[in-house]
């Protein structure tokens, strides 16, 4: 009988150690839905010559094109009472599933009233998975072009990249 107790205790200890090495009970909140996003934000400082007034952005359009140049999605800034959102977001959800990602789509932000016409292209995202208990995705870098000018964001973080849209 003593021998059975010893074996039971050893099995219990081994099982407990195995669970603890697998991070049992740890809750992971990786926020992967925004890790590979690019936020395009209108500069709303209208006291500055490069800033917009709300009336200048209320008709802004965001258009997504597939690799053959066909428009596949269009959205307009949303209105909430007297308040208009002042940003568009490119969410590359698939990037948080792989280490390197090349977006085959191009995007355009256009608003004739506010003199805005931006073409966002050549989006490339590189990241890694941290390992350990949660193994969350983290950006290493995000690069893209705005009207042909290269933009590059580097550094391991848990958020995407931002780009400020200014008046011309």
Residue 1 lies in a domain: no
Residue 45 lies in a domain: yes
Residue 7 lies in a domain: no
With cut-offs at 50, 70 and 90, classify the pLDDT of residue 15. very low
Residue 37 lies in a domain: yes
| Element of type H or E holding 151 | strand 149-157
* Domain span at 128: 28-165
R_g of the chain computed on alpha carbons? 24
Cα separations in angstroms, 8 against 18, 19, 20, 68: 15, 17, 18, 65
Own/partner contacts of 100-104, CB < 8 Å, gap of 24 or more, are 100/124, 100/125, 100/126, 101/36, 101/125, 101/126, 104/66, 104/67
Write the pLDDT tens digit of every residue in 147-167. Answer: 999 999 886 665 677 888 888
Residue 113 lies in a domain: yes
Q: CA torsion 8→14→19→20, rounded to 10°?
A: 120
d(CA 106, CA 75): 14
Strands 79-80 and 149-157, how do they pair? unpaired
Cα separations in angstroms, 144 against 50, 103, 141: 22, 10, 10
Write the pLDDT tens digit of every residue in 118-144. Answer: 999 999 888 877 777 777 777 788 899
pLDDT exceeds cutoff 80 at 94: no
Q: Which residue has the tokens 């740890």?
A: 26
Residue 19 lies in a domain: no
CB within 8 Å of 149: residues ≥ 6 apart = none
Question: Which is higher by pLDDT, 1 or 157?
Answer: 157
Residue 150 lies in a domain: yes
d(CA 6, CA 157): 48
What is the number of domains present in the chain?
A: 1
Residue 79 lies in a domain: yes
Write the pLDDT tens digit of every residue in 38-80. Answer: 888 888 888 888 888 888 888 889 999 999 999 999 988 876 5
Q: What is the pTM assigned to this prediction? A: 0.73
């Amino acid at each position: 009988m003593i021998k059975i107790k010893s074996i039971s205790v050893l099995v219990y200890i081994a099982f407990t150690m195995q669970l603890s090495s697998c991070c049992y009970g740890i809750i992971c909140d990786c926020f992967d839905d925004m890790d590979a996003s690019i936020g395009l934000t209108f500069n709303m400082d209208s006291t500055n010559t490069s800033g917009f007034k709300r009336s200048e952005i209320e008709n802004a359009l965001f258009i997504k094109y597939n690799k053959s140049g066909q428009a596949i999605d269009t959205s307009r800034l949303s209105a909430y009472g007297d308040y208009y959102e002042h940003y568009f977001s490119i969410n590359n959800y698939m990037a948080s599933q792989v280490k390197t990602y090349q977006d085959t789509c191009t995007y355009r932000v256009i608003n004739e009233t506010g003199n805005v016409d931006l073409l966002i292209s050549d989006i490339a995202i590189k990241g890694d998975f941290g390992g350990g208990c949660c193994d969350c995705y983290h950006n290493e870098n995000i690069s893209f072009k705005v009207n042909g000018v290269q933009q590059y964001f580097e550094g391991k973080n848990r958020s995407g990249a931002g780009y400020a849209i200014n008046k011309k």
